[in-house]
Copies of this chain bind each other. A is one copy, B any other.
Amino acid sequence: MAADELADLAALLADRSRARFLLALMDGRAWTSSELAEAAEVAPSTASEHLTRLVRGGLLVERRQGRHRYVQLAGPKQARLLEDLLAYLGPTDPPKRTLRASAATRALRRGRTCYDHLAGRLGVAITDAMTTRGLLTEDLAVTDDGLTWLERELGFTPPATRRPLAKACLDWTERRSHLAGTAGAHVCAHLHARGWVRRIGTGRAVRLTPTGETALEDLLGVTAPE
């Protein structure tokens, strides 16, 4: 009977913590389990259980990456469901909020840090440019040309650590891989040090400065995303 399905669906939403998760995920980004645990103020174990329920219930999709578990709203259908419910809950004042939120989301999509390297369209653009110039292989390993280039242009010599020099990191907003590893971290640090990118506010979003724009154009032929 349809009533049972309705009740099951509602039960999935009928919890304070899960509701907080979903609201947070309304920004369309992928969050890690611990980020959500902190946002909802529950223990990591609790968050983990909630996430499995939400994924099983089809509201979220997950992607394991290394030791992280990323979750995201499963799709526009699910987002729409939440919007409908929030609309019912009434005169929220989202004209400003939604605008701010979507502006924030756009900024994050354009460029951001992912731990210690660059992600978003900016990260992808740099990675692509390095690949087409033969500095990286298709599966994001550093070529010999790449090594000399990093040395000459960025003053980068690979440290003697076990951390891989280059690694592919899947980008959740772009659904593309971009450069991580020590090389990726160094590129990010270098761009910050030169003042080519700057953090926006307190979050992970970054923007390309005017000097950075011309510098990247010269260096790699990268044009500012968006």
Residues of A bordering B, CB below 8 Å: 1-16, 18-20, 22-23, 40, 77-78, 80-81, 84-86, 88-89, 92
Contact of A3 among B9, B12, B23, B77 (CB under 8 A): B23
Chain B residues closer than 8 Å to A5, beta-carbon distance: 89
How many copies of this chain sit in the oligomeric assembly?
2
Chain B residues with CB under 8 Å of A2's CB are 23, 86, 89, 92
Bound: A6/B87 CA distance, A: 10
Most buried by B among A3, A7, A12, A85: A3
Beyond the given A2-B86, A84-B85, please list 18 additional residue pairs across the A-B interface where CB-CB is below 8 A: A3-B20, A3-B23, A4-B19, A5-B89, A6-B19, A6-B85, A6-B86, A6-B89, A8-B14, A9-B88, A10-B11, A10-B13, A10-B19, A10-B85, A13-B14, A84-B84, A84-B88, A85-B85
* Bound CA span A168–B161, Å: 89
Which residues of B are found within 8 Å of A23, using beta-carbon distances? 2-3, 6
30 residue pairs A–B, Cβ–Cβ below 8 Å: A2-B23, A2-B86, A2-B92, A3-B16, A3-B20, A3-B22, A3-B40, A4-B19, A6-B22, A6-B23, A6-B85, A6-B86, A7-B13, A7-B15, A7-B16, A7-B18, A8-B14, A9-B89, A10-B12, A10-B13, A10-B14, A10-B19, A10-B85, A14-B14, A77-B88, A78-B88, A81-B84, A81-B88, A84-B84, A85-B85
In whole angstroms, how far apart are the Cα atoms of A213 and B16 in the complex? 59
- Give CA–CA (A12, B10) in the complex, Å: 8
Q: Which of B4, B9, B22 contacts A16 (CB 8 A)?
A: B4
Contact among B10, B12, B20 with A1 in the assembled complex (CB-CB below 8 Å): B20
CB neighbours of A4 from chain B (8 A) = 16, 19
For A5, A23, A88, the residue with the greatest tally of chain B CB atoms inside 10 Å of its CB is A88
Q: How far is the CA of A19 from the CA of B13 in the complex (A)?
A: 14
How close is A36's CB to chain B, nearest CB, in angstroms?
12
Q: State A10–B82 Cα separation when bound (angstroms).
A: 11
Give the residue name and chain of the B residue nearest to A80 (CB).
B88
Residue from A4, A7, A23, A80 with most neighbouring chain B CB atoms (10 Å): A7
Q: Which residues of B contact A14 (CB under 8 A)?
A: 7-8, 10-11, 13-14
